[in-house]
Amino acid sequence: MKQTRVAIYTRVSTDDQSTKTQEHELRQYAKHRRWTVQRVYTDHGFSGAAEKRPALDDLLRDTRKRKFDVVLVWKFDRFARSLRQLVSALELFRKFGIDFVSATEAIDTSLPSGELVFQIFGAIAQFERALIGERVRAGLAHARRCGKQIGRPPVRFLTQKERADLREEHLQGKSLRTLAKSYGVTLWTAHSVCSN
């Protein structure tokens, strides 16, 4: 039977705290499950909200190399503080066939109940993304109603006469690229003028 290789991840928020308790408990958990500890990844003095953490970055790199079969943590909040960050990591683990276990919260994605939790987290994250998208669209619509221009400002504004001349020259066969250059506008602006 193939030995299950486990990566342990521990984290504390300040340098004066210790990860020894977490590591000891997680090693005992791995021993109880008959898993081989491949490596312990430890971040000292990093907030769980921080996207970039040296040990976590190493763990995610090693995930892509399939150096272990399971990631074992003490609690979710030791690993990630945001749902988006957690779900993103879980999706990466799933892609490479790696299970995720939170020892004190009885979450194990190798079990049917753990798989259910993963699906729930995924659904919540998708809902959160949809809400953010709605808020962004509502904000943009409000800005437009208030007369704000969305996006990059044009290189230059064309007068009504210039717009008419540009359209006329395009109908006579000049390319949009040539027209954009001669009128000092972007290719997209020339295209928009001619398509209206």
User: Which residues touch 166 (CB under 8 Å, ≥6 apart)?
Assistant: 158, 179, 183, 190, 193, 194
Looking at residue 38, what DSSP letter applies? E
Here the tokens at position 46 are: 């990093």
What is the C-alpha separation between 86 and 69, in angstroms, rounded?
A: 18
What is the residue type of 155? V
Q: Which residues of 26-62 are buried (b: 16+ CB within 10 A; e: fewer)?
A: bbebbeeeebebbbbbbbbebebeeeebebbebbbeb
What is the C-alpha separation between 107 and 27, in angstroms, rounded?
A: 17
Here the tokens at position 144 are: 């437009």
36 strand-pairing partners:
5
SS3 70: strand
Residues annotated as part of the active site: 13
